[in-house]
Amino acid sequence: MSNQEILDEIKKRLTKDKDVDVPYLQTELKIYRELENDEVIYGICNLLFEYLDPKIKERLDLKTHQILDERRHTYETVLGLIEEGKTKDAKKILIDLVSIFEKASYTKEKNYYDFDQMIEYFIFCETVEKARSLKIKRYPEPVTYYMYQLASIYLKENNTKLAIESLEKALVYNPRCQYVMQELIILYLQVGKKEEAYQLTLDSLKYAYDKQQLAFCYQELGKYYQEKGNFDIAICCFMTSNYYSENKANLEHILEITQKTGIIRFDQPQDIIKTYEKYNLQHGVSSLVIQAIQDFIGYTKQLRDYKTTRYLLNIAIELTNATMYINQLKELEELETLQKEKKDE
């Protein structure tokens, strides 16, 4: 039986009678503690929690908030130590923070993540419908930052192996975190993991939601294809990278290729599109990101959550400069002006 099946079976035997259920759950808890099955232990503890007196629950919730506030303050101390160059002290505290975090009950939950930006959550869910079914919860502490800062310290100590492990863990907590993905791409390349870097670059490109992220991905892909001798797509990647963010390095790579192979011509924009299709490579911002943005724009409008609508429209405009999004933003601004005028009357 899987752990979920075990928990389902335990739940079936509950009677909703506290005097019957609590002793039964305590017996099951003892059994699975002996078996050291953490997932089932956590599930049983959650079931027992429901039988606690409401006042005790309230006190436990208050205590939990106090502990989390203390941990956030501790993390602020870590940032101060790093700024002062006291990386050994910072590392020790970070390792303790991570160790305690990993023992926390919510780390056993499958639907907990640490999305730093709202757009990362939207892209992860892809659609409003999926968001409803996934029922994502956010970790109550910034564990992605813990791992990222720890990786930075390991790099200063020239311990690339532990830095990579820390960043890989960070991606588990936030699988759409662009700065973690891009740092990890660089480290993979440093240790010779070229194919891992390539695959992660494709992932980063698929979920990229601003121009700098897109520019980084296309430049890395350009370098990858240049090394492989696929010069036509390499030039396309460098050109696309430069479109999103002008960078002298892109032009230097293109010059290097043309000096080596001669001029590769793209007479029509369609020639570039065909080259991307030839290599089955994404051209521009991904349709997944655009679709997620559009879906959540519609949803936030229905909720009259205009602050989030504006946030999403601004991202869409930066990525596409499409008239459709510009007009929607103007309409939203007009609506907000009218609402403000009504309030002032």
Query: Are residue 238 and residue 304 in the same domain, yes or no?
Result: no
- Per-residue H/E/C for 136-156: CEECCCCHHHHHHHHHHHHHH
Query: Are residue 266 and residue 306 in the same domain, yes or no?
Result: no
pLDDT at 55: 59
Backbone angle region of 138, left / alpha / beta, with phi > 0 → left and psi within -120 to 50 → alpha: beta
Q: Please give the tally of structural domains in the chain.
A: 4
Number of residues assigned to the chain: 345
Answer yes or no: are the C-beta atoms of 143 and 101 closer than 8 Å.
yes
Query: Are residue 295 and residue 225 in the same domain, yes or no?
Result: no
Strands, E assignment, the chain:
112-113, 137-138
Is 199 a domain residue? no
Query: Are residue 301 and residue 244 in the same domain, yes or no?
Result: no
Query: Are residue 274 and residue 331 in the same domain, yes or no?
Result: no
Which tens digit of pLDDT belongs to each residue from 321-336?
A: 999 999 999 999 888 8
Structural domain boundaries, residue 21: 3-51
| Cβ neighbours of residue 47 closer than 8 Å, sequence gap 6 or more | 10, 11, 14, 21, 25
Helix H segments across the chain? 3-12, 18-34, 38-49, 54-83, 87-103, 118-125, 128-134, 143-156, 160-173, 178-190, 194-207, 211-228, 231-244, 248-261, 269-278, 287-302, 306-320, 323-344
Is 212 a domain residue? no
Q: Domain of 149: which CATH number?
A: 1.25.40
Q: Could you give the CA distance from residue 256 to residue 244 in angstroms, rounded to a whole number?
A: 21
Token readout for 199 is: 């695959």
Q: Could you give the CA distance from residue 151 to residue 170 in angstroms, rounded to a whole number?
A: 10
Query: Are residue 270 and residue 291 in the same domain, yes or no?
Result: no
pLDDT at 61: 47
Residue 114's CB is within 10 A of a number of other CB atoms, namely: 21
Q: Could you give the CA distance from residue 229 to residue 28 in angstroms, rounded to a whole number?
A: 62
| Cβ neighbours of residue 276 closer than 8 Å, sequence gap 6 or more | 233, 236, 282, 283
Is 298 a domain residue? yes
What are the counts of helices (DSSP H) followed by strands (DSSP E) for the chain? 18, 2
In sequence order, the β-bridge partners of residue 137 are 112
| Distance in angstroms between the alpha carbons of the first and the last residue of the chain | 66
Phi, psi of 303 (to 5 degrees): -80, -10
Answer yes or no: are the C-beta atoms of 208 and 176 closer than 8 Å.
no
Is 171 a domain residue? yes
Query: Are residue 239 and residue 257 in the same domain, yes or no?
Result: yes
Is 275 a domain residue? yes
Query: Are residue 139 and residue 93 in the same domain, yes or no?
Result: yes
pLDDT at 51: 63
Q: What is the pTM of this model?
A: 0.79
Which tens digit of pLDDT belongs to each residue from 128-139?
A: 999 988 888 888
Which among 130, 156, 182 is the end of a domain?
182
Query: Are residue 22 and residue 42 in the same domain, yes or no?
Result: yes
The segments of the chain whose pLDDT lies below 50 read 57, 60-64
Query: Are residue 91 and residue 143 in the same domain, yes or no?
Result: yes
Which among 231, 263, 280 is the end of a domain?
280
Is 109 a domain residue? yes
pLDDT at 63: 45
Is 193 a domain residue? no
3-state secondary structure of 135: coil
Query: Are residue 276 and residue 293 in the same domain, yes or no?
Result: no
Is 197 a domain residue? no
Token readout for 263 is: 């001029």
- Of all helices (H) and strands (E), which one includes residue 336? helix 323-344
Which tens digit of pLDDT belongs to each residue from 251-270?
A: 999 999 999 888 777 778 88
Query: Are residue 108 and residue 148 in the same domain, yes or no?
Result: yes
Burial (CB < 10 A; 0-12, 13-18, 19+), residue 128, is: middle
Which among 280, 299, 329 is the end of a domain?
280
